[in-house]
Structure 1
Amino acid sequence: MGAERQRLAVVSGGGTGIGAAVARGLVADGFDVLVVGRRGDVLAAAARDITAGSGRADAVVPVAADLTDPAQVSAVVDAVGERTVDAVVNNAGGYLGGPTGTLGEVASWWRANLDANVLTAVLLTEALLPALRRPGGRVVLLSSIAAQRGGGGPYSAAKAALHGWAYDLAGQLGPDQITVNVVSPGYVAETEFFGDRMTPEGHARRVAATLVGRAGVPDDIAAAVRYLVGPSAGYVTGQVLGVNGGSVLGR
């Protein structure tokens, strides 16, 4: 099948963890994927690995860009070119710590988390709106269980902000039959999220908080994203899908 006839997805934070799992799953579903992130070497390695496993040349193309910088978002638009974008998966972000001894430090800490988790999604999505398939485009935002139960300070607030924006965006794009949804993961092992902060006790405590007695893995989250961007989810929009093993119940 020629490249122009493949569906195209853009996945931010696509070099490792959940983003890489999403990219791999979407390639398996027949998408071409642009993986976007700040670390060009990590993206390139992920692209090579996923493409090699797909048996389809150029299935994954890396695009290095800091999505908090409006000028760098143009690199993604340029990589899309004249193609139609079928799905935008906003996975970039994470918990950013820092000193908070002064009001200036508190402001910097909050701005860093809001930029990394909210502004990246806003700028990428806004830049790609003209290219989104009409009808049938999909926008997915990756949130966190922290948005629903707290515990992350500015990270919790930033992820919760995505929920409100998703509702607005779903209303804006609904007449074009473009869906907008949020996937809200719980504890997911095998990612870079915790860095060296995770302890065996912390892992055990998070597993014990689930109803299914295990940690999530990136493929659990990727499966939810694959559903939402697929043909079966055309009547699902403006929703927050918790994928957390029951550690926070739906409401």
Structure 2
Amino acid sequence: MTRTVPTPQAPRTVLVTGGTSGIGRAIAARFAADQDRVFLTGRRPGTVEQAAEELGVHGVTCDATDPGQVAALAAGFGELDVLVNAAGGLPQAAPEDVPALEAVLAQWHSSLAQNLLGAVLTTTAVRDKLTSGSSVISIGSIGAERRGGSYGAAKAALAAWNAALSGELGPHGVTSNVISAGYIAGTNFFQGQMTDERHDALVQETHDKRPGTVEDIAETAYFLASPGARHLTGQTIHVNGGAFTTR
């Protein structure tokens, strides 16, 4: 009986925005472990250089909310197999002397820029680099479903945009999905404000009684970019241990 030997997959070109820490870094590391050609971005040259060196990948300093920087980033690529929009975060606090309404406006602008517009700009800039078999993956949040404020609203908008994007890219053989992450421990997302009490409460909301890890999200991203996920597009994949359920 003749056994067919699978043809090794050629290294892919992968771009991960916000790849210097947390979820983005874990995703960059996962693709790098598969011998893919990985590029990570971040806003600060020092952290970009350090993360790239530690992971053995390419680093590019780029603020995903700056159109000029994003255009320059895109110009450096030929074909792109995987785009992961992982850049994002909580809004920056306005100075105390700013009038209340101006502070609210600044907070919402910050949330939308970091968690929606950066993904829109980056994806638009590299769109002509995507080919049949490429994947676009954006990192969302359980905050889009509850208690998310301006951050959650931006992540909800990210999912709505993704649904439209999938319809545009699908006919060209490109998939587009959002990973909606639940509580992920061990990141700097909460900027030092996570308490033991809040940690315990978030864990109790899950069905498996554990916090998520950056590896949980990285493995999901890796799957979404795999041949086995080619008919999976336009979706928001909830990775939260059951803290928020769908049917």
User: Do the structures match in fold with TM over 0.5?
Assistant: yes
Post-superposition shift, 1:155?
A: 0.2
Deviation at 1:43, TM superposition (A): 1.6
Residues 94-152 of structure 1: CA deviation (Å, up to 9, x unaligned): 1114248521111111001100111100000000001112x11100010000112x212
Alpha-carbon separation, structure 1, partners of 2:92 and 2:204: 26
Which residue pairs with 2:110 in the alignment? Answer: 112
Indicate which of 184, 189, 194 corresponds to 1:193. 189
The correspondence for 2:206, drawn from 202, 207, 210, is 210
Counterpart in the other structure of 1:85: 80
Q: Secondary structure at the match of 1:36?
A: strand
> What CA distance in whole angstroms lies between the structure 1 residues aligned with 2:83 and 2:219?
15
TM-score, normalised via structure 1 length: 0.91
Name the % identity: 41
By how many angstroms is 1:79 displaced? 3.0
Q: Which residue, 4, 12, 15 being the options, matches 2:17? A: 12
The match for 2:101 among 100, 103, 128 is: 103
Conserved 8 A contact 1:140-1:180:
yes
**Kept after mapping to 2: 8 A contact 1:221/1:243:** yes
User: What runs of 5+ residues in structure 2 fail to find an aligned partner?
Assistant: 1-9
**Residue in structure 2 matched with residue 24 of structure 1 by the alignment:** 29
TM-score normalised according to structure 2 size: 0.92
* Bigger Rg, structure 1 or 2: 2
Correspondence for 1:157: 153
> Who is 1:63 aligned against?
60
- Tell me, in whole angstroms, the C-alpha distance in 2 between the residues paired with 1:138 and 1:65: 21
User: What is the letter of the counterpart of residue 65 of structure 1?
Assistant: C
- In structure 1, list runs of 5 or more residues that go unmatched: 52-59
Q: Distance in 2 between matches of 1:236 and 1:173?
A: 13
AA of the residue aligned to 2:55: I
State the number of aligned residues: 235
**1:188 & 1:47 partners in 2: Cα distance?**
22
Q: Tell me, in whole angstroms, the C-alpha distance in 2 between the residues paired with 1:30 and 1:227.
A: 15
Partner of 1:169: 165
Q: Find the counterpart in structure 1 of residue 5 from structure 2.
A: none
What residue identity is the alignment partner of 1:61?
H
Amino acid at match of 1:211: H
Q: How large is the Cα RMSD of the aligned pairs?
A: 1.2
Q: What is the aligned partner in structure 2 of residue 182 from structure 1?
A: 178
Task: String of CA shifts for 1:78-101, please: whole Å, max 9, x gaps.
Answer: 332xx2100100000011142485
Closer, same or farther: CA 232–30 of 1 in aligned 2, 3 Å: farther
- Aligned amino acid, residue 139 of structure 2: L
